[in-house]
Homo-oligomer: A and B are copies of this chain.
Amino acid sequence: MARRSDHTRSELRTMIVEEGRRQLADVGLARFSARDVAKRIGYSVGTLYNVFASLDELLMAINGRTLELWAEHLRARLHRPDEGDRIATLVRGYFEFATANPKSWIAIYEHHMAEGVAAPDWYVALVADIMGLVAAEIAAALPGASRAASLALARSLVATVHGHCVFTLYQTFDMLGETAPVDAALARVREAIVAARG
Contacts and interface: CB of A to CB of B under 8 A. Distances in A.
Interface of A: 28, 30, 109-110, 112, 118-119, 124, 127-128, 131, 151-152, 155-164, 166-167, 170-173, 175-178, 181, 184-185, 187-188, 191-192, 194-195
Contacts of A118: 171
A185 B192 CA distance: 11
Contact of A170 (B109, B124, B151): B109
A125 to B, nearest CB: 10
Contacts of A164: 156, 159-160, 163
- Report how many copies the assembly holds: 2
A47 to B, nearest CB: 25
Contact of A163 (B112, B162, B187): B162
A162 B167 contact: yes
B176 A131 contact: yes
A184 B110 contact: no
Given A109-B166, A124-B175, 12 more contacts: A28-B112, A110-B110, A155-B173, A155-B177, A156-B178, A156-B188, A158-B167, A159-B167, A159-B184, A161-B163, A166-B166, A191-B195
A127 to B, nearest CB: 5
Nearest to A119: B175
Nearest to A181: B159
A112 B155 CA distance: 27
